[in-house]
Amino acid sequence: MGKSMTIVIQPLALGSEGPDIMVKDTIDVAGYQTRAGSRALEQVEPAQSHAEVVHRLLDAGWHINGKTNLHELAFGTTGINHWTGTPENPCFPDRVPGGSSSGSAAAVAAGLCQAALGTDTGGSIRTPAACCGVFGLKPSFGRVSREGVMPAQTSLDCVGPFARDMATLISVMQVLCGDFAELPDVSDARIGVVNIAAEEINPEVKAVVENALSGSEMRAKSVDLPNMVAAYDAGMTVINRESWVASGDWVGTGLVGEDVAQRLLAASQTTDAELEQAEALRQVFTAEVDAALECCEVLALPTMPDYPAPLSEAGDTRALLGMTRFVRPFNLSGHPAITIPLVSAAGLPVGLQLVAARGADELLCAVASAIASRISTRAEVE
């Protein structure tokens, strides 16, 4: 299988001669199978209709030129897929591409399309975007339609775009959200820099993010989110229960990859009491983030606690779930979050994550655009 075919698993040619965009293979395209990168769905019937986001893109003149690969059943952080092949990280080929929307991030980084759609249930847009050195946005929960997107039922998952620049990412959001307003003036925006314990982050990654925030010349203050760790754990509990409900039946076929099958079987043990506790924590953490955003327009923190793992050390997906330590909590709370691609002095990818109030996706994009225009991003140093 060629390198491009590990990124694009179904070439398409839909729509006008407009800008090229690809969609993750959890998003229905009429006449094509939606297989979620799994052999368990190899014989599934083609989708009968487009997902709403596909309709919107085609109506707006975009050209859909492929469906992208992913971590099987969208249930993994590394992007490694033993059935379809793992999408190569175009800029960092010895590192994982990140999951689960690995192919979408890689397609944008490789220049196979101007933009791509992914889905983010526990960091699955922001993590691969950070790994591959591109911009990636998880919108507010419910802001973008999920009609025709796997899984059908979720309290965490969001459809969102990848791009190599903010202007393209914003143009996609304007299509996906019919009510996406003009970007506000953020000249006086304040940034709440989330305090991260030293033992939770690679000091080199922390330094890159701090330097970027300093270079943005935007007003900043430190903020605490005391329940970040608890929210990460609660997010894992919710995604485990919802993923088992959505995909558990396929485990019995014997066709699900071992890494994903074992995670799903472990997820099946999630108890109602654990879920109830997680939902209670969701309310607590959501209120905590809301309160932090009362004194600033956005929160800022690293997208990942470390550089992307080398492929040679990424065989056990479960051992690398911590890649999502700083992103998963905001799936639980439903706040919009974006990652800006940075690069370390050693030439390795780092992500700067920004978080805004629920529904304030325009504000988030405006601040991200302002910061990206004032600093050196990964896209500019390639």
DSSP string, 110-133: TTS-SEEEEEESSSTTHHHHHHHT
CB 268, CB 244: distance < 8 Å: yes
C-alpha dihedral (320, 325, 327, 333), degrees to nearest 10: 130
The one catalytic residue in 102, 124, 140, 247 is 124
Q: What letter represents residue 228's amino acid?
A: M
Beta strands in the chain (DSSP E): 8-15, 20-24, 63-68, 115-120, 135-138, 158-163, 190-194, 219-223, 298-302, 337-343, 349-355
Residue 10 CB burial class (10 angstroms; 0-12, 13-18, ≥19):
middle
CB 170, CB 47: distance < 8 Å: no
Q: How do residues 187-196 score in pLDDT, each as one tens digit? A: 999 999 999 9
CA distance linking residue 297 with residue 316, whole number of Å: 38
pTM: 0.97
- 100 as an active site residue: the answer is yes
- 101 as an active site residue: the answer is no
Q: What is the CA radius of gyration of the chain?
A: 19
Predicted pLDDT at 379: 56
CA distance linking residue 29 with residue 47, whole number of Å: 6
Question: Going residue by residue through the chain (382 aa), what tens digit of pLDDT does each one get?
Answer: 456 879 999 999 999 889 999 999 999 999 999 999 999 999 999 999 999 999 999 999 999 999 999 999 999 999 999 999 999 999 999 999 999 999 999 999 999 999 999 999 999 999 999 999 999 999 999 999 999 999 999 999 999 999 999 999 999 999 999 999 999 999 999 999 999 999 999 999 999 999 999 999 999 999 999 999 999 999 999 999 999 999 999 999 999 999 999 999 999 999 999 999 999 999 999 999 999 999 999 999 999 999 999 999 987 777 788 999 999 999 999 999 999 999 999 999 999 999 999 999 999 999 999 999 999 886 554 4
- 124 as an active site residue: the answer is yes
Predicted pLDDT at 1: 42
CB 22, CB 66: distance < 8 Å: yes
C-alpha dihedral (170, 175, 180, 183), degrees to nearest 10: 30
| 3-381 CATH | 3.90.1300.10
Q: Which two tokens stand for residue 29?
A: 């395209």
CB 374, CB 195: distance < 8 Å: no
The one catalytic residue in 24, 38, 67, 171 is 24
Q: What letter represents residue 218's amino acid?
A: M
3-class secondary-structure state, position 228 = helix
CA distance linking residue 370 with residue 382, whole number of Å: 20
The one catalytic residue in 38, 100, 104, 333 is 100
CA distance linking residue 20 with residue 16, whole number of Å: 9
